[in-house]
Structure 1
C-alpha cells in the first residue's frame, strides 16, 4: 500500500470519527484540502422549495482556514457569485467546470443522499483541471460523507415524527450557550452594561405543547393521537420554520423549537406563525387543534435545564390563562406575571 492510499484511509477514518454535523463538515473540507490543496473550498446545503432549489453555505475553507456555519451563523445567508454553475450541476446531476478570467477553474460536485437526491454541493476553486481519477476520489469521499451523515441523523431523529429527538437537544443548547457566552465576553460595549451585545444573531427556544391532548387520546384513541402529533410536526416544518431553525420532539405531545431572530418581537412573530398555522389547519374528525408556546432567549443561563425551565414557565402561564397562546418568559418576568424559575413551585393542577 502506497503512502497516498494510507493518507486517504486516515482521512476517511477522521471523517467518520465525529458525531456532530458541523464538525463532520469541517473534517470533510479539511480532508479534501489536504488531498487537493486549493485556494477555495465551499460546501453548500441544497434545499428544494416550491420547485426551486435554494442554497445555504454550510462551511468554507480558504488558504487552509476552515469555518462552519455553526461558528459563524451569518454564513447561512451568504450568496455565491457562482450560482449559475452550481445550479447547472444540480440540474444535470453531474460535475460542472468553469474557467475564470485569471486562469483558474471552479469545479462543482453534487452530493447525493440514499434516495439519489442532491442534498449538498461542493465547490472547489483550483489551478488545475482535476483528472478523472481525482474526480472519482472526490465523489467517493462525498459518498462516505453522505452515508455517515445519514447514519448520524438516524440516531438523532424521533421515529414517529422524523424530528430531532430529545437526546440531541441538550448538546445543541450547550453549544449555543458557549457560543453566545464567548461572543458576549469579547464584545461587551461597557463594563456597566452587563446585558448589551453588539452582535446581531440571537437564539430563542420555544417549548410547544398540544392543548387538551389527553382529551384527544381519550375520545379518539392513542393511534389517532399519534396522527395528530405527526400532523403538528409536519405543520411546524412546512413553511413556518426556516431551514436553519431546529425542531425537536421533546416527549409525548411536547415539542421544542430553536430559532434565530434579531430580537424578542421577531421571535414572537415566528412563534405566533406556528401557533396560527396549527390553529387554522382542519384536522380530520376534530376540526381544530391548538397549541400553547412559551419561549426564552438562549443566553447566559447556567445550563440547558435552566433554559428549558424558563421556556416551560412561560408555557405553564399560557396553559393556565386560556391556552392557544404564545408568551415570552422575559416579558412575563418584566411584567411581574411570573417569578424567576428558581423561586417557582407549582401545585398539582393538571394543565397538560
Structure 2
C-alpha cells in the first residue's frame, strides 16, 4: 500500500486536469477501507443536466474512466433520479446512506468542490462495508482539498483570463488525447498513467472548429479597445450557452476562437456552428450594435497536428468571409465541392452527404 505522502506527490505532479480524478480515486481506495469509489460530474446539454460517472474504481481491481466527449448524453442519469447525489450537491454537505441497516454497508457522498460554480459541480461517492470513522473522513477532506487546489491551479494555467475559455496551450493537450489510442474504458495502473506508450489510431468523430468575428478590425477602429473587450467576452458567453458543457471551447487571442468536439455526424456539427452563428447575430451588443461571426470546421485525422487541423479550419473561415461572412463552412464539404485541392473519390453515401 502506498503512503499518504506518496499519493500527495502523485496528485500534485500532474499537468493534466483530466488525470486528477483518476489519481484521487486511486489514493482514496488505496488508503481507506473502501469497496468502490465513484466520481460523478454534472454535464449539461440544451438546458438539461445529467450525471456522468467520470471515474469508477473497485478495491478488487478494475475500473472505468469516461471521456465526457464520447458519451451518449441521452443515456445518462438525470440529476433528479439520483436524489442522494443531488442533496449532497445542493447542501454542499456530507450525505450518508445506510442501505442495509445502521451497522451495515453504506454510501458516503461528499461534494467534490467547495464552491457552487455550475461548471464544476460534482460529488465523491464512497462505498464501504461500514461507516467511515473520523480519521478516515479527515483523510478524505485532506485529499479533496489537495485535489481542489491542483484543479484550480491547472485550470488557471489553461484559461484565457479575458473570456474564461480555454487557451491555445490547452488545445494541444486535448488534441493529442483525442488522436491517441483510448483506454477502452479500462483504468490502467496509476503509476503508468501519463508514461505509458500509446499508439496512434484513427480518431472516432472528433471535429475542430475555428470561429472569428467578422470585420473585427473595423469595429475595433470605430469603437475602441474597451468596447471590443466587451464584445470578445460576450461572444464567449454565447459560445458557452450554445455548445454542450463537455465540448471544449477556446479563445486563441484577438477575434479567434476554437471548438473541439466529438460528434458522430458532420451534419450535426454544421448545425451546432449554425446555431452559434444565429445566436451571435441575434445577440444585442450594447456598445457596438450588430456583430456576426464566421466559422469553419474540419474532421480530426490520425496524422493531424493542432497546427495542420487549424490551418484547414482557417481556410474554411476565409472561404466564409470571402462569401460575405456570417456563415459556417465545413472544410471537408468544401473539399468535396472541389474548392481545396483534388476532389476525393466519393462513395454514394459520402456524395449524398
> TM-score, normalised on structure 2?
0.82
1:213 aligns with 2:216: yes
Contact 1:41 1:61 in 2 (8 A): yes
Contact 2:69 2:261 in 1 (8 A): no
- Which structure ranks higher in relative contact order (CA pairs < 8 Å, sequence separation ≥ 6)? 2
Give deviations 1:135-190, integer Å, cap 9, x for gaps: 1211221111011100110011111111111111112111111137999xxxxxxx
How far apart are the structure 2 equivalents of 1:325 and 1:139? 49
Contact 1:163 1:249 in 2 (8 A): yes
Question: What does residue 119 of structure 1 align with?
Answer: 121
Contact 1:113 1:119 in 2 (8 A): no
1:45 aligns with 2:41: yes
Contact 2:69 2:246 in 1 (8 A): no
Aligned counterparts, 1:273-312, within 5 A = 273-312=275-314
Please state whether the residue corresponding to 1:336 is helix, strand or coil: coil
Question: What does residue 337 of structure 1 align with?
Answer: 339
Q: Which moved more, 1:55-64 or 1:265-274?
A: 55-64
1:74 aligns with 2:71: yes
Please state whether the residue corresponding to 2:121 is helix, strand or coil: strand
> CA offset at residue 222 of structure 1?
1.5
Q: Which moved more, 1:77-86 or 1:45-54?
A: 45-54
> TM-score, normalised on structure 1?
0.82
Contact 1:205 1:259 in 2 (8 A): yes
Aligned counterparts, 1:239-318, within 5 A = 240-318=242-320
User: Mind listing any 5+ residue stretches in structure 1 that lack a counterpart?
Assistant: 184-196, 341-352
Question: What does residue 89 of structure 1 align with?
Answer: 88
> CA offset at residue 271 of structure 1?
1.0
Question: What does residue 188 of structure 1 align with?
Answer: none
Contact 2:89 2:122 in 1 (8 A): no
> CA offset at residue 228 of structure 1?
0.6
Give deviations 1:73-131, integer Å, cap 9, x for gaps: 33875438971111121233211111335952111111234679873210011112101
Q: Which moved more, 1:107-116 or 1:66-75?
A: 66-75
Contact 2:69 2:247 in 1 (8 A): no
> CA offset at residue 72 of structure 1?
8.4
Please state whether the residue corresponding to 2:112 is helix, strand or coil: strand
Give deviations 1:45-68, integer Å, cap 9, x for gaps: 246899996432221113333432
> CA offset at residue 37 of structure 1?
4.4
How far apart are the structure 2 equivalents of 1:116 and 1:330? 37
Aligned counterparts, 1:110-259, within 5 A = 110-113=111-114, 119-179=121-181, 202-238=205-241, 240-259=242-261
How far apart are the structure 2 equivalents of 1:181 and 1:312? 31
How far apart are the structure 2 equivalents of 1:130 and 1:277? 49
